[in-house]
Amino acid sequence: MNPDRPFVIAGPCSAENEEQVIATAIGLKEIGIQVFRAGLWKPRTKPGSFEGVGNAGLQWLSRVKRETGLLTCVEVANSSHVKASLKAGIDMIWIGARTSANPFAVQEIADTLKGCDIPILVKNPVNPDVDLWMGAIERFQNSGISCIYAVHRGFSTYERGLYRNIPQWYIPIELKRRLPDVPMLCDPSHIAGRRDLILQIAQQSMDLGFDGLMIESHIDPGSALSDKEQQVTPSELKTILSSIIIRDYEGIPELLKELRREIDEIDDRLLTLISRRMQVAREIGRCKKSNKIPILQPTRYERLVTHKVSCAESLQLDPDFIKRILEAIHEESVRQQLTIINSNEEV
């Protein structure tokens, strides 16, 4: 990747008409964007929503290339989309979150692309499953694609919070650890769901060492046929990009090294405490087994979680984060107790 981060891909959520596409592309060209994205086939949640203009939009993107010199990028979900895009001279294609969650669809696309080394962008699956995301990338690697980008767009949740899709930054960080040579982009538009949060998410991704951004930009977001709340005008995008601070990580100061050593020591203590907690959980399992007490006691668990989560903010901790930790620890504690209950161990 170019060390002058961030590499930026921008364009409307959906190509709606030729005038909108060309006007947006010209506006993005003027602020220095080099890759223009637009959705043509839109996988909508409910039928009856705007599902894209389909193949007709490919002609508009061809005109974008001719008149602005921008590279073009579209989302594909099956082999027919791929074939039409390649025939139209599309420069890059991306795999959406719904598609990357389906190994059959990913394999179909990968098979269609064999022998055609076009850059591929793979968005994370809708659910936070790093193995599924990694598997989608590996399918394209196995098809001979050499230029692959991972795109973090957040994860769907039934809970309504600040973001449309929760970031769960540890998932892309783990993917980057496993696949260090795959460039990582962030899609702050889909994480935020609101244009006023895009800069915040973009900055966080840059602070985490992401290589670039994919941001939705529309010449008139208020009239957009899809995702109007999360799109920005080209001039608004220019302001966002000029506000991002790219930090220099060369020459780590001694204080940071010392703080990292302290973090390592704390993590060691955490592992020891978790180990001890699971030892206690197994002892509880033995007690329940000998007294024929059910493993699950929902009332106690709810009281525990409610109390601990209520203490989180006073400790400068995020309540949702603490809730996820407690849920994970409880799940493992139950598993440990079930191991005891189902064992031949005498109590």
pLDDT of residue 260: 81
Percent of the chain with pLDDT over 70: 96
pLDDT of residue 251: 62
pLDDT of residue 3: 55
Q: pLDDT tier at 4 (50, 70, 90 boundaries)?
A: low
Token readout for 280 is: 């206690």
Q: Please give the DSSP secondary-structure letter assigned to residue 245.
A: -
pLDDT of residue 347: 57
Residue 114 has pLDDT above 90, yes or no: yes
Place of tokens 């079930």: 338
In this prediction, residues 71-89 reach a mean pLDDT of 98
- Measure the CA–CA gap between 163 and 85, rounded to whole angstroms: 32
Supply angle C-alpha 50, 27, 149, rounded to 5. 70
pLDDT of residue 238: 97
Contacts of 167 (CB under 8 A, 6+ apart): 152, 154, 155, 191, 201, 204
Instruction: Kindly tell me the burial class for residue 50, based on how many C-beta atoms sit within 10 Å of its own C-beta (0-12, 13-18, 19 or more).
Output: middle
In this prediction, residues 36-57 reach a mean pLDDT of 87
Residue 2 has pLDDT above 60, yes or no: no
Residue 43 has pLDDT above 90, yes or no: no
In this prediction, residues 95-123 reach a mean pLDDT of 97
- Measure the CA–CA gap between 277 and 333, rounded to whole angstroms: 8
DSSP 218-240: -SSGGG-SS-GGG-B-HHHHHHH
HEC profile of 164-189: CCECCCHHHHHHHHHCCCCCEEECHH
Residue 159 has pLDDT above 70, yes or no: no
- Measure the CA–CA gap between 297 and 102, rounded to whole angstroms: 36
Q: Please give the DSSP secondary-structure letter assigned to residue 121.
A: E
Indicate the pairing of strand 148-152 with strand 92-95: unpaired
Q: Which of 119-128, 157-166, 315-324 has the lowest mean pLDDT?
A: 157-166
Residue 109 has pLDDT above 60, yes or no: yes
Residue 76 has pLDDT above 70, yes or no: yes
Token readout for 187 is: 């899609």
Domain residue ranges of the chain, discontinuous segments joined by +: 7-243, 254-341
Higher pLDDT, 336 or 150: 150
Instruction: Decide whether 7-243 matches 254-341 in CATH topology.
Output: no
**CATH for the 7-243 domain, from 3.20.20.105, 3.40.50.10320, 3.20.20.70, 3.40.140.10:** 3.20.20.70
In this prediction, residues 29-57 reach a mean pLDDT of 89
- Measure the CA–CA gap between 12 and 141, rounded to whole angstroms: 28
The answer to whether the Cα torsion of 57, 59, 60, 62 is positive or negative is positive
Residue 340 has pLDDT above 90, yes or no: no
Domain 254-341 -> CATH class: mainly alpha
Q: What is the pLDDT of residues 255-264, one digit of tens each?
A: 777 788 788 8
Q: What is the pLDDT of residues 179-216, one digit of tens each?
A: 999 999 999 999 999 999 999 999 999 999 999 999 99
- Measure the CA–CA gap between 6 and 29, rounded to whole angstroms: 16
| Radius of gyration of the CA atoms of the chain, in A | 24
pLDDT of residue 140: 98
Token readout for 347 is: 């109590």
Mean pLDDT of all residues belonging to the chain: 91
Higher pLDDT, 286 or 213: 213
